[in-house]
């Protein structure tokens, strides 16, 4: 028996050692591979400059949010914002300064938004915030707070502002394409009305008093 012959027992144990070590090695390799795959997926969804979600990830998240809002009859709002005169800023101060401004805006959006909100950089100087379970009135108030925070983030040497457009599924079809189209229309209105302001997609169908009431 093994108790009577310890040398034979150790020999038996050692015979299994290569199998054990091989199993441990394969497990470590599998774990490393899975981590690498997850890291690659995260990088594919992330904007390299700001660390926010990129346009591809934004499109995916907006479709999911719109589908959920329609299925469960929940509120959903979208904020689009675009930095004002960003090309002139780049031309005047250089691209490194422009990149610094984009990162500063990204920090503002993350700091002022809720943890459940989806914040993304969807274009060169364009950003978006997807607001689940959020009616238009709350989205407009947040957009105004973001507008002020972006303006306050300007440095003494470089000043910058942004224009904001807001849309909500309570007023339009609850599909991602319609929501994005209406928010973009509102952003265009903000640009046309002097920039550095918030505009709501349904303004033409609402009185100015109603719109101002939503902002307050």
The catalytic residues are: 125
Q: Which residues contact 67 (CB under 8 A, 6 or more apart)?
A: 176
Exposed / middle / buried, residue 122 (Cβ in 10 Å: 0-12, 13-18, 19+): buried
Q: State the virtual CA torsion across 68, 55, 113, 171 in degrees, nearest 10.
A: -50
Query: Cα(79)–Cα(164) distance, rounded to whole angstroms?
Result: 7
DSSP 193: T
Estimate the share of the chain in helix, then strand, then coil, as percent rounded to the nearest 5. 60, 15, 25
Dig out the tokens for 131 from the structure. Answer: 């607001």
Please give the order of strands across the beta sheet that includes 126-132. 118-121, 126-132, 76-83, 162-168, 198-200
Q: Would you give the end-to-end CA distance of the chain in angstroms?
A: 86
Long-range pairs, 27-36, Cβ under 8 A, ≥24: none
């Amino acid at each position: 028996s093994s108790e009577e012959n310890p040398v034979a027992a150790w020999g038996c144990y050692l015979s299994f050692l290569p199998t054990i070590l091989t199993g441990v090695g394969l497990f470590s390799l599998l774990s490393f591979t899975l981590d690498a795959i997850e890291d690659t997926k995260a990088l594919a969804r992330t904007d390299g400059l700001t660390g926010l979600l990129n346009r591809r990830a934004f499109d995916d998240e907006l479709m999911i949010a719109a589908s959920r809002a329609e299925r469960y009859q929940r509120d959903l709002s979208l904020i689009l914002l675009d930095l004002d005169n960003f090309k002139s800023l780049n031309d005047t101060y250089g691209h490194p300064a422009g990149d610094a401004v984009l990162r500063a805006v990204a920090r503002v959006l993350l700091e002022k938004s809720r943890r459940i909100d989806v914040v993304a950089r969807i274009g060169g100087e364009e950003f978006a915030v997807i607001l689940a379970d959020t009616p238009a009135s709350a989205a407009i108030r947040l957009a105004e707070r973001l507008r002020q925070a972006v303006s306050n983030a300007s440095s003494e040497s470089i000043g910058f502002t942004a224009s904001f457009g807001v849309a909500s599924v309570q007023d339009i079809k609850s599909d991602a394409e319609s929501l994005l189209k209406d928010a973009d229309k509102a952003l265009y209105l903000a640009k046309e009305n002097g920039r550095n302001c918030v505009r709501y997609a349904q303004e033409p169908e609402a009185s100015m008093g109603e719109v101002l009431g939503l902002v307050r």
